[in-house]
């Protein structure tokens, strides 16, 4: 493969386009609400009407409005249909000719769509994730070529540093700094790992990226491999994402066939291969040292850091671990330049963030917004507010994060502001809660999750989460005393500071954050005989 | 070989490059409590009893796994650490079924000693009373999971010193237990050489010699360091 061949492929892909296009979302969300049957009906109808040379029916990735699936989009009129059924699907064909359609139209100009700034999701819903030709037609793998021929590895790292990109897995560690640390490590063998072990309840950003645009992640990984001097990458993806795994496998196969992965990529003296490793259902394997143990074929237990994986990672070699969304940002940064990226978002948090908006919100789905967008904009304008009652809070960061009460909804979403509010950006799960939601029960739910997912290696996490969960259950059941509440708070602090890895260290966060903003709810749930003692008036 | 000087609890200490904070402290006779740490095998940093405060580090660091660096200022026994360690012991006692009065290790138990040392006289947390098994299938030894604190010393000693890898950890979280062979009864595991190193390594009465009763457990802990020294330095110290 050389660049002229890549351009030729891209040109061929573009010239093949037919006047009309029907894009059917084939991501996991829409498939589970019946998208396969809908597409089959459309395919049959097109053949029957003899329209196959005019209308292209294609499978695309996520069209974002996951709660209203199956979703279908048409071109060139850019109409969007929601909740399409096999019965009303055929009317979409008529709508291409200007007739009215039976399938419910979805307003593509509502804030849910209009306020999005797709960078990571730019191809999501536009291209067929199972066809590398589609990705090449929109400029795919050109950034990899550009990096290999126009930039030195050091310049590539510098570009990422300059872009201000920070790790999208949750911690927000500067990506450029991580790359340059691994790049500066000596040793012939280095590895790149893509962490696709997305495990937070309610989070599906990484799954959607992998299902909708797998090649973007592969290209980002190859660029990082060139930058840090690695020739081998692994994608660690959880077994619960069969569709993502299948599309990744296909994507890797196609890229290899075209010589875009493997030996001598673009004849530039650069080799890079990618293998998939599938998780076995442990949340803790999202922690980088546990993930590395798991790839090595060992029990997925974390180990103390330092040494960090950048120094001693996979099989003791310097290893770069980034999250799916981080890798998905690399290609646009190379293509448009680091300054373009830096100007999006806020001064401290550049770029966009993909959120999975779920919970008691009207519009459930996937959104990508510039950093610094306020929570109010996200929840009330884009999300359309709650289904009934009033918005009470938003939970971010999953079991490691916390709740943000409605009075702080004017806070811009970036790493620092969220931290100040006692939560974290996390990987992007955003769960909206209405005023019927009990915050104590939310804390109990997350603690139960951590209790189940603790690996059991260190005492504070293994035994501490059990006791925290028991104490929370006691409160939920109106059995707890003021002393129990004191023990709860003391134990939270201890588990936070003494645990070995991030799972235990952050497990108390949902409790601490709900205690901070909704302490009244805890007090109201104490043993009835206690209420007077704490001066709480039963309403 | 270079030497690092650091301060532990206000005391100036010089140690060889590569030594851990724990080694430095022990050389200076500063006691740091440990439970999963066992000299001669790799550190697990799992029990969290040896956590110390290091000036400039926002996090508590495990002394058994953290290198003693030039200029470090370490505090090993602050009020916060004391309170955390005590709570950690309470969690351990509440988690298993630790009944000293009927235990073979009574009076010779590191868990018991440590509980006394950190001033743990009762547990604030509810006892879990888990339903755990006792495996007496081995001709010479027994394992009582009720007394196990999952320090994994047996796992490491069997793997790293004996090279048999009879033991490992099965399940996760509160359901973890020390598993023999392919989850077989200990007596059925062909890999076991009956060397007894796990008995010597076990800090509690979880792994014991058959025929010993309350308070009779003895360990030949020196044997482990003797073997490691002999193997690594070719010095036969006994």
Query: A488: domain CATH number?
Result: 1.20.1440.230
Which residues of chain A from 274 to 303 reach within 8 Å of chain B, CB to CB?
A: 282, 284, 299, 301, 303
Whether A190 and A255 map to the same domain: the answer is yes
Q: What is the CATH number of the domain that holds A99?
A: 3.40.30.10
Give A362→chain B minimum CA distance, Å.
37
**Interval B54-107: pLDDT, tens:** 999 999 999 999 999 999 999 999 999 999 999 999 999 999 999 999 999 999
Whether A200 and A336 map to the same domain: the answer is yes
What is the C-alpha to C-alpha distance for residues B167 and A262, in angstroms, rounded to an integer? Answer: 40
Q: What is the CATH number of the domain that holds B123?
A: 3.30.70.20
User: B62 contacts in A (CB within 8 Å)?
Assistant: 304
**Interval A142-180: pLDDT, tens:** 999 999 999 999 999 999 999 999 999 888 999 999 999
CB contact under 8 A, A454 and B173: yes
Whether B145 and B187 map to the same domain: the answer is yes
In sequence order, the β-bridge partners of residue B5 are B14
pLDDT in tens, chain A (539 residues): 889 999 999 999 888 889 999 999 999 999 999 999 999 999 999 999 998 999 999 999 999 999 998 999 998 888 999 999 999 999 998 888 888 888 999 999 999 999 999 999 999 999 999 999 999 999 999 999 999 999 999 999 999 999 999 999 888 999 999 999 999 999 899 999 999 999 999 999 999 999 999 999 999 999 999 999 999 999 999 999 999 999 999 999 999 999 999 999 999 999 999 999 999 999 999 999 999 999 999 999 999 998 999 999 999 999 999 999 999 999 999 999 999 999 999 999 999 999 999 999 999 999 999 999 999 999 999 999 998 899 999 999 999 999 999 999 999 999 999 999 989 988 899 999 999 999 999 999 999 999 999 999 999 999 999 999 999 999 999 999 999 999 999 999 999 999 999 999 999 999 999 999 999 999 999 998 877 766 665 44
- Tell me what the mean pLDDT of segment B149-169 comes to: 97
Whether A356 and A326 map to the same domain: the answer is no
User: B203 contacts in A (CB within 8 Å)?
Assistant: none
B161 falls within a domain: yes
Chain B contact probe: residue of A297, A305, A459, A506 with most B CBs at under 10 A:
A459
Give B105→chain A minimum CA distance, Å.
21
pLDDT given at position A539 = 43
Whether A185 and A306 map to the same domain: the answer is yes
Please check whether residue A387 is in contact with residue A362, taking contact to mean a CB–CB distance below 8 angstroms: yes
A295 falls within a domain: yes
Whether B101 and B211 map to the same domain: the answer is yes
Number of structural domains chain B divides into: 2
CB contact under 8 A, B176 and A303: no
Whether A325 and A358 map to the same domain: the answer is no
* Single residue among A342, A370, A391 that ends a domain in this structure: A342
* Single residue among A434, A456, A475 that ends a domain in this structure: A434
The radius of gyration computed from the CA coordinates of chain A, to the nearest angstrom, equals 24
Whether B117 and B224 map to the same domain: the answer is yes
What is the C-alpha to C-alpha distance for residues A126 and A119, in angstroms, rounded to an integer? Answer: 13
In three-state secondary structure terms, A191 is strand
Whether A232 and A316 map to the same domain: the answer is yes
Whether A170 and A311 map to the same domain: the answer is yes
* Single residue among B31, B57, B76 that ends a domain in this structure: B76
B42 falls within a domain: yes
In three-state secondary structure terms, B4 is strand
A274 falls within a domain: yes
Residue A454 contacts B, CB cutoff 8 Å: yes
Whether B145 and B211 map to the same domain: the answer is yes
* Single residue among A83, A106, A129 that ends a domain in this structure: A106
Whether A175 and A304 map to the same domain: the answer is yes
CB contact under 8 A, A299 and B173: no
Whether B172 and B136 map to the same domain: the answer is yes
A134 falls within a domain: no
User: B82 contacts in A (CB within 8 Å)?
Assistant: none
B182 falls within a domain: yes
Whether B46 and B126 map to the same domain: the answer is no
The whole domain housing B167 covers 83-233
A6 falls within a domain: no
Whether B159 and B90 map to the same domain: the answer is yes
What is the C-alpha to C-alpha distance for residues A56 and A134, in angstroms, rounded to an integer? Answer: 13
Which DSSP letter does residue B13 get?
E
Number of structural domains chain A divides into: 4
- C-alpha distances (whole Å) from B226 to each of A195, A479, B20, B199, B229 are 43, 54, 21, 16, 5
B9 falls within a domain: yes
Whether B62 and B103 map to the same domain: the answer is no
pLDDT given at position B145 = 98
The whole domain housing A66 covers 18-106
Whether A284 and A310 map to the same domain: the answer is yes
Q: Out of A454, A460, A500, whose CB is closest to B91?
A: A460
Q: What is the CATH number of the domain that holds B22?
A: 3.10.20.740
Q: Which two tokens stand for residue A53?
A: 């040379």
Residue A453 contacts B, CB cutoff 8 Å: yes
Q: What is the CATH number of the domain that holds A408?
A: 3.10.20.600
Q: What is the CATH number of the domain that holds A226?
A: 3.40.50.11540
Whether B100 and B72 map to the same domain: the answer is no
Whether A444 and A430 map to the same domain: the answer is no
| Cβ neighbours for A304, distance < 8 A, ≥ 6 positions apart | A500, B45, B62, B65
Burial of residue B27 (number of CB atoms within 10 Å: 0-12, 13-18, 19+): middle
B204 falls within a domain: yes
Whether B72 and B136 map to the same domain: the answer is no
Whether A84 and A203 map to the same domain: the answer is no
* Residue B152 dihedral angles phi and psi, to the nearest 5°: 65, 20
What is the C-alpha to C-alpha distance for residues B165 and B159, in angstroms, rounded to an integer? Answer: 4
B91 falls within a domain: yes
User: B92 contacts in A (CB within 8 Å)?
Assistant: 459, 463
Whether A324 and A357 map to the same domain: the answer is no
B238 falls within a domain: no
- Tell me what ipTM this predicted complex has: 0.96
CB contact under 8 A, A467 and B172: no
Whether B134 and B222 map to the same domain: the answer is yes
Whether B136 and B60 map to the same domain: the answer is no
* Single residue among B25, B43, B76 that ends a domain in this structure: B76
Give the distance, in angstroms, between the CA of residue B213 and the centroid of all CA atoms in the same chain: 22
């Amino acid at each position: 493969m050389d660049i002229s061949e890549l351009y030729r492929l891209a040109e061929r892909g573009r010239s093949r386009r037919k006047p009309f296009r029907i894009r059917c979302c084939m991501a996991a969300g829409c498939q589970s609400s019946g998208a396969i049957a809908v597409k089959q009906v459309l395919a049959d109808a097109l053949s029957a009407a003899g329209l196959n040379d005019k209308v292209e029916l294609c499978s695309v990735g996520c069209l974002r409005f996951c709660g209203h699936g199956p979703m279908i989009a048409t071109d060139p009129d850019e109409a969007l249909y929601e909740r399409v059924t096999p019965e009303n699907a055929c009317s979409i064909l008529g709508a291409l000719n200007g007739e009215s359609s039976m399938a419910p139209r979805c307003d593509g100009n509502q804030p849910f769509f209009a306020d999005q700034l797709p960078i990571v999701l730019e191809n999501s819903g536009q291209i067929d994730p199972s066809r590398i030709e589609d990705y090449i037609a929109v400029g795919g793998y050109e950034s990899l070529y550009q990096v290999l021929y126009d930039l030195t590895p050091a310049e590539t790292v510098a570009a990422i540093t300059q872009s201000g990109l920070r790790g999208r897995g949750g911690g927000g560690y500067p990506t450029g700094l991580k790359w340059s640390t691994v790049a500066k490590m000596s040793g012939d063998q280095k590895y790149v790992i893509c962490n696709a072990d997305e495990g937070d309840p309610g989070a599906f950003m990484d799954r959607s990226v992998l299902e909708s645009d797998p090649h973007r992640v592969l290209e980002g990984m190859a660029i990082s491999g060139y930058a840090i001097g690695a020739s081998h990458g692994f994608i660690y993806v959880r077994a619960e994402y069969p569709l993502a795994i299948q599309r990744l496998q296909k994507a890797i196969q196609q890229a290899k066939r075209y010589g875009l992965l493997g030996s001598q990529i673009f004849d530039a003296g650069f080799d890079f291969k990618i293998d998939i490793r599938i998780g076995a259902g442990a949340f803790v394997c999202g922690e980088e040292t546990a993930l590395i143990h798991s790839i090595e074929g060992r029990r997925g237990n974390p180990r103390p850091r330092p040494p960090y994986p950048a120094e001693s990672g996979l099989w003791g070699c310097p290893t770069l671990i980034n999250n799916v969304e981080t890798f998905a940002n690399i290609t646009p940064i190379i293509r448009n330049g680091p300054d373009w990226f830096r100007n999006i978002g806020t001064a401290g948090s550049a770029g966009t963030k993909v959120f999975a908006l779920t919970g008691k919100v009207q519009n459930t789905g996937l959104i990508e917004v510039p950093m610094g967008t306020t929570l109010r904009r996200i929840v009330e304008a884009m999300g359309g507010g709650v289904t009934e009652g009033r918005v009470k809070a938003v939970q971010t960061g999953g079991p490691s994060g916390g709740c943000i009460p409605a009075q702080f909804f004017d806070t811009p979403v970036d790493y620092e502001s969220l931290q100040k509010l006692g939560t974290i950006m996390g990987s992007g799960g955003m769960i909206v809660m209405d005023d019927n939601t009990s915050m104590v029960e939310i804390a109990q739910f997350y603690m139960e999750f951590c209790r189940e997912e603790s690996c059991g290696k260190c005492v504070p996490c293994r035994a501490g989460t059990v006791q925290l969960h028991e104490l929370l259950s006691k409160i939920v059941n109106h059995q707890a005393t003021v002393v129990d509440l004191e023990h709860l708070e003391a134990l939270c602090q201890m588990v936070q500071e003494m645990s070995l890895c991030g799972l235990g260290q952050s497990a108390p966060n949902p409790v601490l954050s709900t205690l901070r903003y909704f302490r009244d709810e805890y007090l109201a749930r104490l043993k009835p005989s206690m209420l007077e003692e704490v001066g709480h008036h039963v309403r | 070989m270079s030497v690092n000087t650091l301060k532990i609890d206000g005391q100036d200490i010089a140690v060889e490059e590569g030594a851990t904070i724990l080694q430095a402290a022990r050389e200076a006779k500063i006691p740091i409590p440990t439970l999963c740490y066992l000299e001669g095998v790799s550190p697990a940093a799992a029990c969290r009893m040896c956590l110390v405060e290091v000036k400039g580090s926002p996090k508590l660091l495990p002394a058994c796994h953290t290198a003693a660096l030039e200029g470090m200022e370490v505090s090993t026994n602050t009020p916060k650490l004391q309170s955390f360690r005590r709570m950690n012991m309470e969690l351990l006692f509440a988690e298993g079924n630790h009944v000293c009065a009927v235990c073979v290790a009574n009076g010779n138990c590191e868990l018991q000693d440590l509980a006394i040392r950190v001033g743990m006289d009762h547990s604030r947390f509810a006892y879990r009373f888990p339903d755990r098994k006792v495996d007496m299938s081995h001709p010479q030894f027994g394992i009582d999971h009720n007394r196990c604190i999952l320090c994994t010393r047996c796992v490491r000693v069997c793997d790293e010193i004996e090279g048999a890898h009879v033991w490992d950890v099965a399940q996760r979280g509160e359901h973890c237990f020390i598993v023999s062979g392919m989850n077989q009864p200990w007596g059925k595991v062909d890999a076991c050489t009956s060397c007894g190193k796990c008995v010597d390594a076990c800090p509690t009465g979880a792994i014991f010699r058959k025929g010993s009763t309350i308070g009779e457990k003895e360990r030949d802990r020196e044997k482990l360091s003797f073997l490691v020294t002999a193997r690594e330095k070719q010095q036969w110290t006994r």
